[in-house]
Chains A and B, each alone.
Chain A
């Protein structure tokens, strides 16, 4: 299984290469990718340097152009595809049929991966993209149980990539407009969820409050640790009770599932987190590299080491991890 790691900056890309990522995925500095955050992503010059480093070390470079093009800004998506092709990337990760169609036509040799934002959760959906755009891999949304991932893998000849670690979207990726409902900006159209510019922290009656476009997402007691107000991870009132009605602040961690993912025939595991620091990429990549190598050396005896688990827990939201939808009980 290939280890695919995130880089939101050149130092993160270097860290991923150093720690043994098989492939590194990046995005351009605009709204053509789903991590369009201020100060994030690589300039053309940095990308050039990154490509050289990746080639010297015999790794792969993937570029995400995975938001949905808007009718007014098509030139940006076209330019992103052309630039990716000119750089000789190993794969373009895309979701929008407009982008996939253009890439297929203008750059027939470019490897296409279907982004998780494409929301393909079943064999026939994958066939659509395979027959029409000749996709060479698909990243599955984080909504399937392990048994369902197996069913999908068995029903398609498209190689499968799954999320292994990182922030957890509770909703099916590509199928969530909650952020635009509150703030006007969504992952599909703007490459952001719960955008930083809409966040406001304040101290109200001695309690720390987090707001998104003035909507109260959570309020913390003194002894509680506060998290970024991603709107699906706030505490709300439902049926008169206040609780994390949608999801707790927690991260996905599937290291325990490495043997099963391998058995299913998953081609690649993906680490989420282009928006995180180079230190995050460094530590997660190291832990996962060691785990995958350990499994390869001795699959029968594979056991998640405490040190890996501690590293990952320390980098997780709310210091909690979950198997997410892979584990049916979570659903």
Chain B
């Protein structure tokens, strides 16, 4: 099983980002995704800045570096920037919107399909493979069984399987909006957000009126409150056809997370249970853990 580091979904100050990647460069990661996927207004790094950082990272590590594209494109300037990203001429791109799929397929460039692309079956996946997709990250709500059936369906269709990458650790990216919920929480209009999401290195917790943790507010993105953690499901990940486990950056403790996964993939015993949720993997509501659902 390969280990990948997903793009940083939060907005961190420049120094924090460079320190983070310096730490990550020391770890046994196979793939590192870099770039802004949530909000085009976040400019601690512009596109050239990200590409520069990606080059530095490539020098510092053996991991494959992939540039991730924006997910929700609303303005022409964002479309132009995505086009430039696809034209970088150097790194593979992760498409998170159909605009990127279009740019990359026009250029006949192989690409990774991120979890924000709605690919839910072998027939749909075959359409993207025909357009150049070589790696598939299923939508985060997909159950392991569904991923398995999807790739079996590809076999039936006579289409070669892409690499399969499962979102295995981190806050789940669940939704995207025109509205910035961080700005709303601070009672600011979006156009005068003053980049306030930079003050929340792991988003803002959203709880029910009874104090139950539900979501994490991260600008225009809504994430799970719980950490989705499939380490206890390691064998099941393999059995269902996952080639790559994606670990999504958190503000603290990522070194330990990567090390724990690396240990298990090298033959270490997976934990019997972990904190957080894994409901989606087991075909249950995402917020649940398999233990709660009585599945193990």
Contact = CB atoms under 8 A, between A and B. Distances in A.
Contacts of A128: 98-99, 101-102, 105, 131
B229 interface: no
B264 to A, nearest CB: 26
A70 B208 contact: no
Contacts of A148: 74-75
A98 B121 contact: yes
B206 A155 contact: no
A122 B207 contact: no
Given A95-B118, A181-B286, A237-B207, A125 B178 contact: no
A69 B280 contact: no
A184 B285 contact: yes
Interface string A16-55: 0000000000000000000000000000000000000000
Of residues A118, A132, A178, A184, which shows the largest number of chain B Cβ atoms within 10 Å of its Cβ?
A: A184
B15 interface: no
Interface residues of B, number: 72
Contact of A178 (B174, B189, B280): B174
Contacts of B103: 124
Of residues A74, A96, A97, A329, which shows the largest number of chain B Cβ atoms within 10 Å of its Cβ?
A: A97
A177 B181 contact: no
A125 B73 CA distance: 10
Contacts of A144: 74, 178
Contacts of B269: none
B168 interface: no
Contact of B224 (A70, A74, A181, A218): A181
B41 to A, nearest CB: 12
A143 B74 contact: yes
A70 B146 CA distance: 8
A216 B181 contact: no
Contacts of A242: 209
B124 interface: yes
Contacts of B256: none
A146 B139 CA distance: 29
A216 B209 contact: yes
Given A68-B124, A95-B118, A236 B208 contact: yes
Interface string B124-146: 10111001000000011100001
B268 interface: no
Q: Sort chain A's interface into a size bin.
A: 35 or more
B76 A155 contact: yes
B127 A97 contact: yes
A122 B77 CA distance: 11
Nearest to B116: A175
A122 to B, nearest CB: 5
Given A177-B139, A238-B217, A329-B189, A71 B177 contact: no
B238 interface: no
Contact of A171 (B74, B141, B211, B222): B222
Contacts, number: 218
Interface in B74-115: 74-76, 78-79, 83, 97-99, 101-103, 105
A121 B72 contact: yes
Of residues B102, B146, B224, which shows the largest number of chain A Cβ atoms within 10 Å of its Cβ?
A: B102
Contact of A122 (B73, B128, B153): B73
B251 to A, nearest CB: 17
Tell me what chain B mostly uses at the interface: helix, strand, loop, or mixed: mixed
Given A121-B72, A143-B74, A331-B178, A101 B79 contact: no
Interface in A87-124: 95-98, 101-102, 117-124
Interface in A173-210: 174-178, 180-184, 186, 188-189
A239 B185 contact: yes
A121 B73 contact: yes
Nearest to B76: A151
Given A151-B75, A181-B287, A176 B124 contact: no
A304 interface: no
B173 to A, nearest CB: 8
A95 B126 CA distance: 15
Contact of B285 (A98, A101, A123, A213): A213
A246 interface: yes
Nearest to A172: B176
Shortest beta-carbon contacts, A-B, top 4: A98-B123, A125-B98, A143-B178, A181-B286
30 contacts: A68-B121, A69-B120, A71-B150, A71-B153, A72-B146, A98-B124, A117-B118, A119-B118, A124-B83, A143-B74, A145-B74, A148-B75, A171-B177, A171-B222, A172-B178, A178-B174, A178-B215, A180-B286, A181-B224, A182-B214, A182-B287, A184-B286, A186-B141, A188-B141, A216-B210, A239-B186, A245-B217, A328-B191, A329-B189, A331-B179
Interface of A: 68-72, 74, 95-98, 101-102, 117-125, 127-129, 132, 142-145, 148, 151, 155, 170-172, 174-178, 180-184, 186, 188-189, 213, 215-219, 234-239, 241-242, 245-247, 325, 328-331
